[in-house]
Structure 1
Amino acid sequence: MKDLLPDLCDYYPQDIRFLPLTLLDYGCHTPFGGQIVTLRCFEDNSLVRDILSTAGDGKVLFIDGHGSCRRALLGDQLALLAVKNNWQGIIVNGAIRDVATLAQLPLGVKALAACPIKTDKRQMGEINVVLNIAETLIYPNDYLYADLNGVILASAALDLNVLKTEP
């Protein structure tokens, strides 16, 4: 089902939060979703590598780069690491790079923009903190669902089996 979010919003109107942020799709997989791991960092993706080096079964990394598009918080090498460790997707409130490669990887990726410049490496950031993006709270361990229609959040996993299956 390519248009997952409209059906989820119709079926679970009281259980979801819409993220009103214009993100572009860069990954090969859409729709995608999973339990959220949060990271807040600014122009430093050291902790992105640390997180994506762990098992990501059923998880989505949500990176709050403070909306900066001056440095790319995700590139091909980190995306390959995410695929290797079974992450479902990555959302970046900031920039990414290596977009042609990302478009070929079995991973959901959304970001504000592309930027060819790498980040600094200072091991700075905060993991599993509540993020406030576009006046929407994003909690660690909540669930995220994304497709070409956008991103929604829920405090518990939504049962996708209740949705229609016809195109």
Structure 2
Amino acid sequence: MTESMTMNKENFVTCDLLDANPEAQVCLPNIEGKSFHRFGGQNRFCGEIVTVKCFEDNSRVKSLLNSNGKDKDGYGKVLVVDGGGSMRCALLGDMIAQSAIDNGWAGVIVYGCVRDVDDLAKMDIGVMALGCIPRKSTRRDEGQTDIEISFGDLRLRSGMFVYADNNGIIASDKALI
């Protein structure tokens, strides 16, 4: 990025943000043999973090992304889902992603799997996950929200900020742009 350009939510590059903010956390590119991949239609996305921890049950993911972001939790935020790295079922699909878009969420990062990837790729939302699988999760109304989660050398809490692009994922206690 040239010196005269100012970074914003539409043009930031995580490499440049990290160079300017070396204290930011960096997600490792390979976590126990798994790596994050981009599945959404946005090449880059960022926002204030809302955390959820759930294992093979996307009940909390669905309810959070269905929340009216313009009035409440989601507007411009990024839901970070600690799915325990499970590759056995998807925690996000096209219908829940559409709810996220309708409610103003900037993106979703899933430490686990997604599905409906061809549709997700056409949607105006950032989505990163470890992989994809056609199997949906079983809803048992389990999971925890707004707790500290960790994966890939990241320690994340609701209220922090995350930045994701084709270079990777970084997080910070403060807004970087």
* Same fold per superposition (TM over 0.5): yes
Answer yes or no: is 1:132 the counterpart of 2:150. Answer: yes
Deviation of 1:91 (Å): 0.3
SS in 2 for 1:42: coil
Structure 1's unaligned 5+ residue stretches are: 160-167
- Aligned to 1:10, the other structure's residue is in SS state helix
Aligned equivalents of 2:27, 2:117: Cα separation in 1: 23
Structure 1: distance between partners of 2:102 and 2:154: 30
Note the C-alpha offset of 1:135. 3.3
Deviation at 1:134, TM superposition (A): 2.3
Match of 1:69 in 2: 87
**TM-score, normalization: structure 1?**
0.91
Matches within 5 A, 1:17-166: 17-21=25-29, 22-54=35-67, 55=69, 56-159=74-177
* Whole-angstrom distance in 1 between the partners of 2:148 and 2:132: 25
Mapped contact 2:154–2:171 kept (Cα < 8 A): no
CA contact (8 A) 2:50 2:79 kept: yes
Q: Percent identity?
A: 39
Q: For 2:84, what is the secondary structure of its paired residue?
A: coil
Q: Distance in 2 between matches of 1:117 and 1:146?
A: 26
Structure 2 Cα separation of the partners of residues 82 and 3 of structure 1: 22
Contact 2:40-2:127 within 8 A present in 1 as well: yes
**How far is the alpha carbon of 1:3 from its aligned partner?**
6.2
CA distance in 1, matches of 2:76, 2:160: 12
TM-score, with structure 2 as normaliser:
0.86
**SS of match in other structure, 1:86:** coil
Structure 2: gaps (5+ residues): 1-9, 30-34
Separation (CA, whole Å) in 2 of partners of 1:2 and 1:57: 19
Give the distance between the partners of 1:156 and 1:48, measured in 2 at CA: 24
> Would you say the 8 A contact 1:5–1:146 is kept in 2?
yes
The answer (yes or no) to whether the contact 1:35–1:60 under 8 Å persists in 2 is yes
RMSD of aligned residue pairs (Cα, Å):
1.2
Q: Show CA shifts across 1:5-40 (max 9, x none).
A: 1110111113x1101142000011121000000000
Alignment match of 2:20 (pick from 3, 6, 11): 11
Q: Considering fraction of residues, name the structure with more strand.
A: 1
Separation in structure 1 between the aligned mates of residue 20 and residue 57 of structure 2, nearest angstrom: 39
For residues 77-121 of structure 1, give each alpha carbon's deviation from its aligned partner in whole angstroms, at most 9, with x where no partner exists. 000000000100000000000000000000000000000001101
Contact persistence 1:38–1:130 (CA under 8 A): yes
For 2:78 and 2:167, locate their aligned partners in 1 and report how far apart those are by CA, in whole Å. 17
**Distance in 1, Cα, partners of 2:51 & 2:102:** 19
